[in-house]
Amino acid sequence: MSPEKAHTLEPSADAPTPTTETSHAQERTEIATSDAPPTQGSQEPKPPPFPEHLRLEVEEFSRKTDAFVKSLEPLLAPYRGLLEAMKKERKRYNAWLEAHPQRVVYYQDIGTYTACQYMPNVEIRDTPEMGRGVFTTAPLKQGDLFLAEEAIVFAPQEDDPLIVSLLGMFANPWALAKELIQIDPERQALAAQLYNAHTDKSAHLLQQLAQIQAASTHTFPNAAPETLVRWIGTAQSNAFCFQVRQRKRVGMYILASMLNHSCSPNASFSFEGTTIVIHAQKDVPTGEQLFSSYLGGRNLPVERRQQMLQERFHFTCRCPTCTTEAASTPAESPPPTTP
Ligand SMILES: [Zn+2]
């Protein structure tokens, strides 16, 4: 069996989450989804608190059916301006879809991802050293879109101080794991096939879960700790962080997770709402592997990169950049001249 590859992206506990949205997305006007939308004048009645169960539905508004949108209208009526802003966002997203010949891949489309027909000009193959990887089947030009995929699950990023302090960088996957235990078996089966780099930390994670359970009974999910630990590891190895209308989210994407890491990547990703969008960053000939960076594009020295990749994804990067930089480490450089 070929080793599974460590992949995906990088939620960082010790640095601000890198902005992953496209410049287009960043220019979007902020849409008020807060509990207290601004009111003009004191005579305006204060809307009721925003119903929590609608929060994620509202973020998914862009790609819901017309019938669903209609059914939400009376529920969103008290939140002045929200419905109009959502409709505008929905229109913008649909225009984006129409402007791209490739359709967005949903988990229902994926089937067996080794023969996914929805990724133009690329395919997933096994590699000798990196598990699965994404390869071109036709030349890609710089800027070509080769994958747009909807999350199988996404969640607000975790900000519970206890969980963040205990699980540290696992905080965001914790939020995702709580969703993963609730989704349908079809999506769970897809997620279960993703790489988990943290199986050796199970005992440690079980201890931390016990502490969380003791301290926050009301938020602890109804699942066996072993199941939670497995999903936390899977999420940690595969979670993508992004922002939707200024709100931090974490999501899981099956096909996007197949991209391996390089410190000099030839592909880069951004987000359209909750859809991940991946473009070639340079011209890539047929048969080449596509790589993204799991380090959020930060410019770090080779030792720090290797340390982060090892801690978070359990692999040693052997990309051309690391190979070159490792060959010229200070230890092997000529000693500095003394004054
Ligand atoms: Zn590297």
State mean pLDDT over 310-327. 89
- The more confident residue out of 132 and 119 is 132
Using CA atoms, how far apart are residues 296 and 84, in angstroms rounded to an integer?
A: 33
* Ligand 1 center–CA 207 separation, angstroms: 33
Structure tokens at 199: 């199986």
What is the rounded average pLDDT for all residues in the chain?
Answer: 77
In this predicted structure, the answer to whether residue 1 has a pLDDT above a threshold of 60 is: no
Q: How many domains, in total, are found in the chain?
A: 1
Domain presence at residue 284 = yes
* Ligand 1 center–CA 289 separation, angstroms: 14
Q: What's the number of CA atoms in the CB half-sphere (13 Å) around residue 46?
A: 6
Q: Which CATH number fits the domain that encloses residue 206?
A: 2.170.270.10
CB 228, CB 220: distance < 8 Å: no
Domain presence at residue 198 = yes
Do the bridges between strand 289-292 and strand 153-156 make them parallel or antiparallel, or are there none, so unpaired? unpaired
Tell me the residues surrounding ligand 1 (ion) with CB < 5 Å: 263, 317, 319, 322
Which residues have CB under 8 Å from 247's CB, separation 6+?
A: 33, 59, 156
Task: Enter the pTM of the model.
Answer: 0.75
Q: What's the number of CA atoms in the CB half-sphere (13 Å) around residue 12?
A: 15
* Ligand 1 center–CA 290 separation, angstroms: 14
In this predicted structure, the answer to whether residue 251 has a pLDDT above a threshold of 80 is: yes
Domain presence at residue 288 = yes
pLDDT in tens, 234-249: 998 899 988 877 778 8
Using CA atoms, how far apart are residues 270 and 268, in angstroms rounded to an integer?
A: 7
In this predicted structure, the answer to whether residue 107 has a pLDDT above a threshold of 50 is: yes
pLDDT in tens, 257-303: 999 999 999 999 998 888 899 999 999 999 999 999 998 877 899 99
In this predicted structure, the answer to whether residue 6 has a pLDDT above a threshold of 50 is: no
Domain presence at residue 332 = no
Percent of the chain with pLDDT over 70: 77
Domain presence at residue 163 = yes
Helix, strand or coil for residue 249?
A: strand
In this predicted structure, the answer to whether residue 335 has a pLDDT above a threshold of 90 is: no
State mean pLDDT over 105-113. 73
* Ligand 1 center–CA 319 separation, angstroms: 4
Domain presence at residue 335 = no
* Ligand 1 center–CA 321 separation, angstroms: 5
Domain presence at residue 65 = no
Beta bridge partners of 251: 154, 240
Q: Among the ranges 34-48, 56-70, 172-186, which has the highest mean pLDDT value? A: 172-186
Domain presence at residue 140 = yes
Domain membership of residue 140 as a residue range: 1-27+103-325
Q: 156-165, 205-214, 266-275, 277-286: which has the minimum mean pLDDT? A: 156-165
* Ligand 1 center–CA 188 separation, angstroms: 31
CB 281, CB 266: distance < 8 Å: yes
What's the angle, vertex CA 312, arms to CA 307 and CA 313, rounded to 5?
Answer: 100
* Ligand 1 center–CA 197 separation, angstroms: 18
Amino acid in the structure at residue 21: E
* Ligand 1 center–CA 325 separation, angstroms: 9
* Ligand 1 center–CA 225 separation, angstroms: 35
State mean pLDDT over 207-224. 79
**How sure is the predictor about 197, in pLDDT bands with cuts at 50, 70 and 90?**
confident
* Ligand 1 center–CA 317 separation, angstroms: 5
In this predicted structure, the answer to whether residue 77 has a pLDDT above a threshold of 90 is: no
Using CA atoms, how far apart are residues 148 and 127, in angstroms rounded to an integer?
A: 23
